[in-house]
């Protein structure tokens, strides 16, 4: 037994085997084989496995987004069944005595070039499809599995770190917790762990080696401790802590159905952050009052091409209906910076956090923006949907957004497609310029929601993804809190409400400060709802608010 140390970023204790994330991609190496028939069978087995995976993805997509949104997976199955494609790979394996992975990659390139050279736009688009199905087959041949986890039991998932496009495709039912060698407290691995309500530890460094694969471990997401092959004393200590946490959760469960109201009667909206329709289950299980942030970009990250209007509509409609009339705030596309989708073909930027991202992409690619807005407005007929726009810096951006929204609404009226004429429009306050202009911005929208991760990043000039900058990334910094206060004052002067949808909203050490500042809504991970409710119900805002404000201004 020995212990390695990292930084805990999502509390909780988990015990289970360590499993390293299998990442696909990379160069396919050509190797000679002596048994071509065995190699052809290996290809056929992989092809059949891919067919089964695509069939399962099709069924899942039909349930979530409807048949039109699932059509891509059906088309991929048909391509995998194409005799020219199959024969081409088998002929190359047999004729050159080479490994199946290399044959698949070469035939994929040939087919992709053939499709790309055709005059028909539909056929040109198939070039990406044949590459995608071939990547899937190569991944299976190479031991890379769909969902990233090939295990019969749930595991503690280990990796260097995980990109947003990787986290969205994980088989979350098999994850007990996360451990990563790199990352930061604001990485998407950490955010996913907090959404799932499972422990996570980052920054373990070189001590996290693949030699730990399969070893029994217990991790403590509060302290950052990772016990490898724990002895009896360590197991008893950590499992006792796990039992205490479960008992506390059972106690907090008694708050379900209670109001988020302070001792002096002030009500606070407590909503949840989600990334997909699947995340509605923990929202309902934890008694969330609504959705304060639906990160719609994950619909884009899990696709190989732009998601269609119908696909998006079905996803938004599903969430709206399942929330039963509670407010569902959907953030428009926030691609860029650390969230990349290859088919956007964004230029490589030296400082992507300052570059073409979020609303800047939407305003420079209006056809992509309008497709999403049409889906959002259509879904508004099925629940209380509100739309939120990220990375706002100027009033003209909001006015342009509203002009585009008016055009989309006019189109839907002309097509006699039902939608809610009074959808709330809000903006994210996550840049210093948005704070400084919040008096004018508040007159243009129905609500503000503060993204504290980015606001802290831009205010303190600290990269939120920086592995070695955690001690400088201080979301409690007086400058950040003063900006929150300024935005709240200007929101209320204009008669609109203001919330926080960043990770900071779940920090109960700041809950009383947020209420003193004037925050009306807190949107947090589902697992944080009941602890936050408990904190709110213990606060009397008439007692300390003025002192908190005085201290904030005097720091």
Contact 164, 298 (CB under 8 A): yes
Q: Does 331 belong to an annotated binding site?
A: yes
Active site residue 405: no
Answer for the pair 159, 122: CB distance below 8 angstroms, yes or no.
no
Coil, helix or strand at residue 529? helix
Cβ–Cβ under 8 Å, residues 388 and 327: no
Residue 430 marked ligand-binding:
yes
Q: Is 23 annotated as a binding residue?
A: no
From the candidates 188, 272, 362, 405, give the one annotated as an active-site residue: 188
440 is in an annotated binding site: no
Q: Tell me if residue 188 is catalytic.
A: yes
Q: What is the sign, positive or negative, of the torsion defined by CA atoms of 529, 531, 537, 540? A: negative
Strands 497-500 and 291-295: unpaired
What are the residues whose beta carbons fall under 8 Å from the beta carbon of 46, sequence distance 6 or more?
100, 137, 140, 141
Q: Which positions ≥6 away from 131 have C-beta within 8 Å?
A: 108, 112
Instruction: Give 86: exposed, middle or buried? Use CB within 10 Å, 0-12, 13-18, 19+.
Output: middle
Long-range interactions of 543-552: CB distance < 8 A, separation 24+ = 544/512, 544/516, 545/512, 545/515, 545/516, 546/516, 548/512, 548/513, 548/516, 549/485, 549/516, 549/517, 552/478, 552/481, 552/482, 552/485, 552/513, 552/517
**CA distance linking residue 444 with residue 93, whole number of Å:** 63
Rounded Cα gap, residues 377 and 435, in angstroms: 28
The answer to the question of whether 403 is labelled as a binding residue is no
In DSSP terms, which residues pair with 385 in a beta bridge? Answer: 328
> Collapsing DSSP states into helix, strand and coil, what is residue 414?
helix
272, 362, 405, 501: the catalytic one is: 501
∠ CA 52-55-61, nearest 5°, is 140
Q: Has 96 been labeled as part of a binding site?
A: no
The pairing of beta strand 328-331 with beta strand 155-159: unpaired
Task: Give CA–CA dist 375/232, Å, rounded.
Answer: 55
- The two structure tokens encoding residue 217: 């471990």
Write out the catalytic residue numbers: 188, 501
- Binding-site positions read 295, 331, 430, 453-454, 464
- Binding-site positions for phosphoenolpyruvate read 295, 331, 453-454, 464
- Binding-site positions for Mg(2+) read 430, 454
């Amino acid at each position: 037994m020995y212990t390695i140390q990292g930084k805990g970023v999502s509390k909780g204790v988990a015990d289970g085997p360590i499993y390293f994330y299998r990442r696909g991609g990379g160069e396919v190496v050509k190797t000679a084989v002596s048994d071509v028939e065995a190699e052809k069978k290996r290809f056929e087995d992989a092809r059949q496995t891919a067919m089964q995976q695509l069939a399962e993805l099709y069924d899942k997509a039909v349930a979530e987004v409807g048949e039109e949104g699932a059509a891509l997976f059906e088309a991929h199955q048909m391509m995998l069944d194409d005799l020219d494609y199959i024969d081409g790979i088998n002929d190359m394996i047999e004729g050159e005595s080479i490994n199946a992975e290399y044959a698949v990659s070469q035939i994929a390139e040939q087919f992709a070039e053939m499709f790309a050279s055709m005059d028909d736009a539909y056929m040109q688009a198939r070039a990406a499809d044949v590459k995608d199905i071939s990547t899937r087959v190569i991944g299976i041949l190479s031991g890379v599995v769909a969902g990233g986890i090939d295990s019969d039991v749930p595991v503690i998932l280990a990796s260097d770190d995980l990109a947003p496009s990787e986290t969205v495709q994980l088989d979350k039912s098999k994850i007990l917790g996360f451990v990563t060698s790199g990352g930061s407290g604001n990485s998407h691995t950490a955010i996913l762990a907090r959404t799932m309500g499972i422990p996570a530890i980052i920054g373990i460094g070189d001590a996290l080696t693949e030699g730990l694969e399969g070893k029994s471990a217990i991790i403590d997401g509060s302290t950052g401790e990772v016990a490898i092959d724990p002895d009896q004393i360590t197991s008893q200590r950590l499992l006792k802590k796990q039992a205490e946490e479960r008992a506390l959760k059972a106690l907090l469960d008694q708050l379900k159905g209670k109001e988020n109201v302070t001792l002096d009667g002030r009500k606070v909206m407590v909503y949840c952050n989600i990334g997909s329709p699947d995340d509605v289950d923990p929202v309902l299980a934890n008694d969330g009052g609504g959705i304060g942030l639906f990160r719609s970009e994950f619909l884009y990250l899990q696709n190989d091409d732009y998601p269609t209007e119908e696909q998006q509509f079905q996803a938004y409609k599903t969430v709206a209906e399942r929330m039963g009339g509670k407010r569902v705030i959907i953030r428009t596309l926030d691609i860029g910076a650390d969230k990349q989708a290859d088919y956007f073909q964004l230029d490589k930027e030296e400082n992507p956090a300052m570059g073409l991202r979020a609303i800047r992409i939407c305003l420079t690619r209006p056809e992509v923006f309008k497709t999403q807005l049409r889906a959002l407005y259509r879904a508004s007929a099925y629940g209380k949907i509100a739309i939120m726009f990220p990375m706002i810096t100027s009033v003209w951006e909001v006015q342009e957004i509203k002009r585009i929204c008016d055009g989309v609404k006019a189109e839907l009226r002309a097509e006699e497609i039902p939608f809610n004429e009074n959808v709330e429009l809000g903006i994210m306050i996550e840049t210093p310029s948005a704070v400084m202009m919040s008096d004018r911005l508040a007159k243009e929208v129905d609500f503000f929601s503060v993204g504290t991760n980015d606001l802290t990043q831009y205010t303190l000039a600290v990269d939120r993804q920086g592995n070695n900058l955690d001690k400088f990334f201080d979301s409690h910094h007086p400058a950040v809190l003063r900006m929150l206060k300024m935005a709240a004052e200007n929101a209320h002067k204009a008669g609109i409400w203001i919330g926080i949808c960043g990770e900071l909203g779940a920090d109960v050490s700041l809950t009383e400060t947020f209420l003193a500042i004037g925050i009306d809504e807190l949107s947090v991970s589902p697992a944080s709802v009941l602890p936050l409710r408990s904190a709110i119900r213990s606060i009397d805002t008439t007692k300390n608010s003025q002192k908190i404000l005085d201290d904030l201004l005097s720091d």
